[in-house]
Amino acid sequence: MRNDYDFTEGKRGAVVPATAGKSRITIMLDDDVLAFFREQAEAQGIGYQTLINADLRKAMQPPQGPTLTVASLRKVLKEELAALKPLGA
């Protein structure tokens, strides 16, 4: 049977060529996590790997909104302490 196949023009490697800017990796995910992303992706009409990539990209972004600083924390604490009634009053 081996004589029936001609692999002289065959090439080793992935069937799908690598895309520029992307890396093929193997990652272990919990079954429930994978099921969640597959369900979400199907509802949105996109691939689950695309959805996982988008969520990972969001996680890379710096937090939005006001940043808590020492000065702002002190201000809030002063205001809250001033608003408290003294004990026994």
What is the pLDDT confidence band of residue 1, given thresholds at 50, 70 and 90? low
Quick: pLDDT tens for 62-71: 888 888 899 9
**22-62 maps to CATH 3.30.70:** no
**Nearest to residue 29, comparing CAs of 51, 60, 14, 45?**
51
Q: Given this model, what pLDDT does residue 52 score?
A: 97
**pLDDT of 76:** 92
Domain ranges for the chain, please list them.
Answer: 22-62
Reported as a single tens digit per residue, the pLDDT across 13-48 is: 777 777 889 888 999 999 999 999 999 999 999 999
DSSP string of 20-50?
A: TT---------HHHHHHHHHHHHHHTS-HHH
